[in-house]
Amino acid sequence: MLKNSAIARISLVSLLIFVAPLCFSQGIQDSTFLIKSVQISADRIFRKEKAGMKETQVDTLVLLQKVNLSLSELLSENTPVFIKSHGRGALASASFRGTAASHTQVNWNGININSPMAGMVDFSLIPVYIIDDMNLKHGTASIADQSGGLGGSISISNLVDWNSKFGAQYLQGIGSYSTFDEFLQVGGGSKTIQLKTRLYHNFSQNDYTFTNRGIGNINPETGVITNPLDTNDNADFAKYGLLQEIYYRLNTKNVLSAKYWGQWADRTIPRATSYEGPDNSNMNNQIDNDHKAVVDWKHYGDKAKVTLRTGYSQKQLDYTLKNYVPGFGLVPAIYSESMQHSSLNSAAYSYSFSEKLSVESSFNFNFHDVASRDSVKKTGYEQQRKELSGFIAVRKNFANKVNVNLMLRQDWVDGVFVPLVPFFGFDFRVFKLVDFLVKGNIARNYHQPSLNDLYWQPGGNPDLLPEAGISVELGVEYQKSINQHLFKSEITAYRSDIDNWIIWIPSYKGYWEPRNIRRVLARGVEGNVSLQGKLNRISYRLAGNYAYTRSINYGDPLVWGDEAYGKQLVYVPLHSGNVLLNVSYKGYSITYQHNSYSERFTTSSNDVSRRDWLYPYFMNDLILGKELQIKGVKLLTEFKVYNLFNETYHSILYRPMPGRNFMLLLKINI
């Protein structure tokens, strides 16, 4: 991996050598700003197609500024989704509305990319480089995409610009802990065909220092306990990726597109901070190879739209654990190889009878083939799963005052009917000419056990029942546009009653097993507010999110014990929030990001006296930027300071996060 670091350094030096003559030989015109123009326009929020649904659209400005981050960091900093991170570059899973990682469904360009084995997505492996647009559907609004999203769904997609003739973008970043980022995008075409290619590389030695609070040294004379300074050794990671897009417009009504995303990731997993043995006692390594492709055809009629889509997803995951044995060196204790193949197909049709009435229907067929084997322990399994889903929705507007949204989804899994999944949502426009809505929904949802839940060896439980939830939510939404300023706000209260919750717990057999517990009740409040606009030549944007999440275990005390009954689920913060402020003037920009999380419990008993909890923490980031225009070339430099106040914090117990660190980015747009 040190070779990768050297390549990144050479690339950076070469780029600077190339750019320097341009900077000094041309007259610099300070006329192109980070936000070239701000057009304040209010999107319609009173739409029958979205009645009763809470959605969050991530701002394009945020995507541009966080381009060198992973999706896990983007979500934790700018949405109500809590990300459980095992460390910088390590496994990161989502807790959406207090639910489990597998309860968040993730779509890429219309195909679901949740692992059929684990049922979840590792958000640290998805770079923001590949995202043009991102949308979150909260709670049962995710039924519009698929079932199973008890917490919600996240859709990421790529967009085409039919006006682009040729364009190129190059990004080079260098940061703390020998971190190097490279990204190249080239694209263009005509009104008929558009091509776009993206290449990226990310590497970090990731060897930050931290105060190890998992180990205490006791002074025998004073009895004072001190925590040693430690280094995050054996934690390096690297990612290489390619995204290729092709768009072909047959005519004004028909568009074909094809997209391929391939990625190779290699990372070493550090030991927990509570470990007190020698540094060379073991070695963890994980390699992820991913290939995803999707082809779709869209037909746009006067009143109808047809979409046919087929996709393919392949993932190979190899995990190795080696323990040091005197006289033999590092000997494999685990050598696990997993392969997943998924075929994902859908057909959708929508028709608008009028502005007040529309219908939508779709049919999905997915096939998964997985195999997992540990060649050391001689365990593993091979399984297939067939999924069919039918969907229909009717949306109606009444007197331009009320929107009603009725959605029904019927799933078949391996030939077995899943009970019908209904959704009823409404919007009520309180005032005729004011964008002030009262909105709500009531819905049912089901989540199937993952293949690991059913068949993992040892521990899988083929008798698990699907998780079943009934959700209710009610909220208000308001927006107001005044001259060059736009204000938006929304607050939503929800309640999700989930039966047969699946959880892995230790068994008397000596290993962990998944079980259904009787009930989990997740309820809370989500609020978001944004204000953006322009004051003379100063452009600004202020956005904030807050979430109150109460996710309570009402499982069987015979399984959990009385101490866990009625307690908050582990790693779910009661309070969380974030604020982003961006100001730009004459090409200069400054962005401040703040995130807050309350305490999280690490055991089901929530016992504070045993220190089974993680302290609240507050993250602060600062970005300073300057953009220049040199004839047809735009040059942007950014200096980023992460963890501005050097906060000591953990997202997961015994997995430390870095202190204050820096990143310098150089972007070139042609």
- Asked if 333 contacts 324 with a C-beta cutoff of 8 angstroms, the reply is no
Q: What per-residue confidence (pLDDT) applies to 562?
A: 66
Q: Tell me what pLDDT residue 249 has.
A: 96
Domain count, the chain: 1
Give me the pLDDT at residue 540, please. Answer: 96
**Arithmetic mean of pLDDT over the chain:** 89
Query: Are the CB atoms for 378 and 411 separated by under 8 Å?
Result: no
pLDDT value for 143:
96
- φ and ψ of 636, to 5 deg: -125, 130
- For residue 215, give the 3-state DSSP assignment: coil
- Which distant-in-sequence residues (6+ apart) come within 8 Å of 3 by Cβ? none
pLDDT of residue 561: 57
**Alpha carbons 598 and 562: distance in angstroms, whole number:** 25
**DSSP-assigned letters across all residues of 400-436:** TTEEEEEEEEEEEETTEEPPPEEEEEEEEESSTTSEE
CA 422 to chain centre: 26
Assign 3-state DSSP to the chain and report helix, strand, coil percentages, each to 5: 10, 60, 30
> What percentage of the chain carries pLDDT values higher than 70?
91
pLDDT of 241 reads 97
H or E element in which residue 334 lies: strand 329-354
**Spatial distance between the Cα atoms of 421 and 400, rounded to a whole number of angstroms:** 28
Cis peptide before 332 (omega within 30 of 0): no
Return the bridge partners of 636, or none: 627, 667
**CA 662 vs CA 119, 183, 393, 622, 656: distances in Å:** 34, 18, 49, 10, 18
Q: What's the rounded Cα separation, in Å, for the pair 519 and 503? A: 11
Q: How many C-beta atoms lie closer than 10 Å to residue 482's C-beta?
A: 9
pLDDT tens digits along 183-211: 999 999 999 999 999 999 999 999 999 88
pLDDT per position as a tens digit, 274-308: 766 666 667 889 999 999 999 999 999 999 999 99
Whole-angstrom CA distances from 8 to 175, 178, 180, 183, 611 are: 11, 10, 6, 11, 43
Q: Is the pLDDT of residue 67 over 80?
A: yes
In this prediction the pTM is: 0.90
pLDDT at 25: 36
Distance separating alpha carbons of residues 143 and 149, to the nearest angstrom: 7
Secondary structure string (H, E, C) spanning 337-361: EEEEEEEEEEEEEEEEEECCEEEEE
Return the pLDDT at 433: 84
Instruction: Label residue 61 by pLDDT band (50, 70, 90).
Output: confident
Comparing 179-193, 205-219, 362-376, 379-393, the range with the smallest average pLDDT is 205-219
For residue 19, name the pLDDT band (cuts at 50, 70, 90). very low
The two three-digit tokens of residue 553, written as one number: 């275990």
Question: Would you say 307 and 347 are in contact if contact means Cβ atoms under 8 Å apart?
Answer: yes
Q: What b/e sequence results for 5-38 when a residue is b if at least 16 CB atoms lie within 10 Å of its CB, and e otherwise?
A: beebeebbeebeeebeeeeeeeeeeeebbbbeeb
More confident residue, 177 or 508: 177
Angle at 623 between CA 622 and CA 629, to 5 degrees: 165
Average pLDDT over residues 65-93: 92
pLDDT digits (tens, 9 = 90+) for 235-276: 999 999 999 999 999 999 999 999 999 999 999 988 877 766
Report which of 655, 465, 539 is spatially closest to residue 36, judged by C-alpha positions.
539
For the record, the structure tokens of 8 come out as 């990144």
From first CA to last CA, the distance across the chain in angstroms is 31
- Is the pLDDT at 4 greater than 90, yes or no? no
DSSP label of 26: S
HEC per residue, 508-569: CCCCEEEEEEEEEEEEEEEEEEEEEEEECCEEEEEEEEEEEEEEEECCCHHHHCCCCCCEEC
In sequence order, the 6+-apart residues with CB closer than 8 A to the CB of 6 are none
What are the tens digits of pLDDT across the range 527-582? 999 999 999 999 999 999 999 999 999 877 665 556 788 899 999 999 999 999 99
Please check the confidence at residue 611 and state whether its pLDDT lies above 50: yes
The pLDDT, as a whole number, for residue 229 is 86
CB atoms within 10 A of CB 624: 13
pLDDT of residue 276: 61
Residue 5: HSE in the Cβ half-sphere, 13 Å Cα cutoff: 12
pLDDT at 499 (0 to 100): 94
Band the pLDDT of 610: cuts 50, 70, 90. low
What separation in angstroms does the CA of 9 have from each of 198, 264, 381? Answer: 20, 21, 44
The CATH number of residue 267's host domain is: 2.40.170.20
Going by pLDDT thresholds of 50, 70 and 90, the confidence category of residue 14 is: very low
pLDDT of residue 215: 77
pLDDT of 484 over the 70 cut: yes
Residues 120-165: pLDDT tens digits?
999 999 999 999 999 999 999 999 999 999 999 999 999 999 999 9
Structural domain harbouring 663: 2-669
pLDDT at 281: 66
Residue 79 vs residues 68, 94, 124, 606: alpha-carbon distances, Å = 18, 11, 16, 26
Mean pLDDT, residues 320-330 taken together:
85
- Bridge partners, residue 254, by sequence: 251, 299
- As a whole number of angstroms, the distance between CA 136 and CA 65 comes to 19
Q: According to the model, what pLDDT value does residue 31 have?
A: 32
411-447: per-residue pLDDT in tens?
A: 999 999 999 999 999 999 999 888 999 999 999 999 9
Rounded CA-CA distance 562/526 in Å is 30
pLDDT at 60: 87
Place of tokens 């995202």: 131
Task: Give yes or no for residue 12 having a pLDDT over 60.
Answer: no
Helix (H/G/I), strand (E/B), else coil: 486 = strand
Torsion angle of the four alpha carbons 552, 556, 557, 559, in this order, in degrees rounded to the nearest 10: -110
Tens of pLDDT, residue by residue over 495-536, are 999 999 998 888 777 788 999 988 999 999 999 999 999 999
Q: Is residue 28 predicted with pLDDT exceeding 50? A: no
d(CA 424, CA 481): 30
Kindly report the backbone phi and psi dihedral angles of residue 119, in degrees, each rounded to the nearest multiple of 5, phi listed first: 80, 5
Q: Which stretch of 48-62, 311-325, 453-467, 596-610 has the lowest confidence by average pLDDT?
A: 596-610
Instruction: Find out whether 267 and 317 touch, Cβ atoms under 8 Å.
Output: no
Given pLDDT bands bounded at 50, 70 and 90, which one contains residue 24? Answer: very low
Instruction: Return the pLDDT at 517.
Output: 84
Residues ≥6 apart with Cβ < 8 Å to 296:
109, 110, 256, 257, 307, 308, 309, 310
